[in-house]
């Protein structure tokens, strides 16, 4: 009976040693997919290349950042926590789009204001053009001039004499 216990113990230890590393990793924490990592990486910019999203950049720094995101996701961090971590560490310049609070909110508000002002200007210009065109096509109106009644009477008499 003693040899059966030893046989079970050896089999158990052999199974633990020969078990694939992915099975060990899955027990401790779940392994994030590339899509999950890239969903967060799209919201960050490369620290080395100007205006290059982290998900498409192939520099060593970006690969390291994507691995760091993968590790943080595996540790149970949320997307917001990961982005906040990178902003606190590297500043606002790593964000693909500015945050919608504080001074950075102007980046969201100013375009709307600019479009509204532009539309108002276009409407005013179109109204002015329409008014100018209406004046140009309107028939001329006689000038209102104060003519003495004796002059009017003489002109009417001359017109009657012509007919």
Q: What is the pLDDT of residues 110-140, one digit of tens each?
A: 888 999 999 999 999 999 998 888 777 766 5
The predicted-structure confidence for 1-13, as pLDDT tens digits, reads as follows 676 676 666 766 6
Return mean pLDDT, the chain. 80
- Cβ partners under 8 Å of residue 75, min gap 6: 29
pLDDT bracket for residue 23 (50, 70, 90): very low
Q: Minimal CA–CA distance to 48: which of 117, 94, 113?
A: 94
pLDDT higher than 60, residue 39? yes
The predicted-structure confidence for 78-122, as pLDDT tens digits, reads as follows 999 999 999 889 888 888 876 666 666 677 788 889 999 999 999
With 0-12 / 13-18 / 19 or more C-beta atoms within 10 angstroms meaning exposed / middle / buried, residue 57 is: buried
Q: At what angle do helices 79-90 and 60-74 cross, to 10 degrees?
A: 140
Q: Dihedral through CA 119, CA 123, CA 124, CA 126, nearest 10?
A: 130
pLDDT higher than 90, residue 152? no
For the chain, counts of helices (H) and of strands (E): 7, 0
3-state class (DSSP) for residue 12: helix
How large is the C-alpha radius of gyration of the chain? 41
């Amino acid at each position: 009976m003693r040899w059966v216990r030893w046989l079970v113990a050896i089999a158990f230890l052999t199974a633990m040693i020969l078990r694939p590393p992915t099975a060990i990793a899955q027990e401790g924490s779940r392994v994030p997919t590339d899509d999950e990592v890239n969903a967060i990486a799209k919201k960050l910019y490369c620290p080395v290349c100007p205006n290059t999203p982290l998900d498409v950049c192939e520099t060593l720094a970006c690969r390291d950042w994507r691995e760091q995101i993968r590790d943080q996701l595996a540790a149970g961090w949320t997307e917001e926590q990961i982005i906040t971590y990178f902003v606190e560490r590297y500043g606002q310049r790593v964000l693909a789009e500015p945050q919608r609070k504080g001074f950075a909110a102007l980046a969201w508000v100013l375009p709307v204001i600019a479009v509204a002002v532009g539309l108002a200007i276009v409407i005013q210009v179109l109204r002015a053009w329409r008014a100018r065109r209406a004046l140009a096509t309107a028939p001329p109106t006689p000038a209102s001039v104060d003519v003495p009644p004796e002059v009017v009477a003489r002109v009417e008499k001359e017109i009657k004499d012509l007919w």
